[in-house]
A and B are shown apart, each in its own frame.
Chain A
């Protein structure tokens, strides 16, 4: 279980790991660079990780075995995703997405 010690230790070590990543080339490796296949794969850390964070929170009401009507989260995320793809503006997505979400909740989804 997560105790206060676990939490502090996780943030301390997580901070050290993050600093090491940021410092890696600036401080340690100088002008050497990563192998090309590694560089290539690292470009996709952001989409893979962000999708892995988003998906379970959006599809949490969807069941594989039985039909479930899409709920407000899923619908708001689809609308927000299309909007974001068009405008590429984070504050606009947050404002419109939340308003759509609240409207859908209000109509009972």
Chain B
């Protein structure tokens, strides 16, 4: 216990748990809402729905999957939607991979499973306690300790929502909280002009295609939004780089 924080395993675990607490608490009602959506679904059974919370372990994708299955979508459309909605995890993995390059293989296998939004937020190189000044052992303990409360709250919250769903009157229309939650995630994830364009294209195509089979309106909207925003982002970066080079700005690594 009189070791420095880097050598004390307890210090890393405590800090990891403490950092995750404010993110885990708001995750609970969202997990309960997913449980209610599963409970209310005519297609998704309670066990399968609960299992999705540890099989897929990604709130937004699970909500979308339940919604699509309710609309009668097939396996391919649901898996494609999950792939699209979770594609940001490729970025997380790319961003965090270098920091755990020398970690043992077991950690990479287990750590990958827990790489959700909040865990990425707490463990990337810009996060306060994830800085590379910490030893690898510290970073690994902190990572796992910050992931554990998120996962526990999620499994329990979804289960509680499924169990309590029958006691929530339909007249309350509590399911409206789900588009509200996505609206919140949309605001949090829209940080620049191409992001706004991606949202407008995605939303418009999805509204126009709301009657299309297998959630293809949602998919087409998301794909078109991503492609156009990506091209626009590249164009804007190019013109910024041109402007900088004429002023004599230094070249950035990218």
Q: Do A and B bind each other?
A: yes
Binding site for B on A (CB under 8 A): 1-2, 4, 6-15, 17-19, 21-27, 29-31, 33-34, 36-60, 73, 76-77, 80-81, 84-85, 88, 90-91, 93-94, 97-98, 101-102, 105
Is chain B's binding surface mostly helix, strand, loop or mixed? helix
Choose from B69, B183, B190, B206 the contact partner of A6 (Cβ within 8 Å).
B69
For residue A69, give the distance in angstroms from its CB to the closest CB of chain B.
18
A105 to B171, CA, bound (A): 10
Q: Decide: A14 and B82 in contact? CB cutoff 8 A.
A: yes
Q: Is the CB of A49 within 8 A of B202?
A: yes
A41–B184 touching, CB < 8 Å: no
Query: Residues of B with Cβ closer than 8 Å to A?
Result: 25-26, 29-30, 43-45, 48, 51-52, 55-58, 60-61, 63-65, 67, 69-70, 72-75, 78-79, 82-94, 96-98, 100-101, 108-109, 111-113, 115, 172-174, 176-190, 194-196, 198-207, 210, 217-219, 221-227, 229-231, 233-234, 237, 254
Number of A-B contacts (CB under 8 A): 292
Q: Which residues of A contact B30 (CB under 8 A)?
A: 90, 94
- Given known pairs A14-B56, A44-B233, A45-B88, the reply for A55 and B204 (CB within 8 Å) is yes
The residues of B that contact A23 with a CB separation of less than 8 Å are: 93, 108-109, 112-113
- Residue contact B94 to A10, C-beta cutoff 8 Å: no
- Nearest B-chain residue to A46, judged by Cβ: B189
Q: Which residues of A contact B55 (CB under 8 A)?
A: 11-12, 14-15
Task: Report the separation of the CA atoms of residues A56 and B190 in the bound assembly, to the nearest whole angstrom.
Answer: 19
Which of A7, A77, A91 lies in contact with B43, CB distance below 8 A? A7
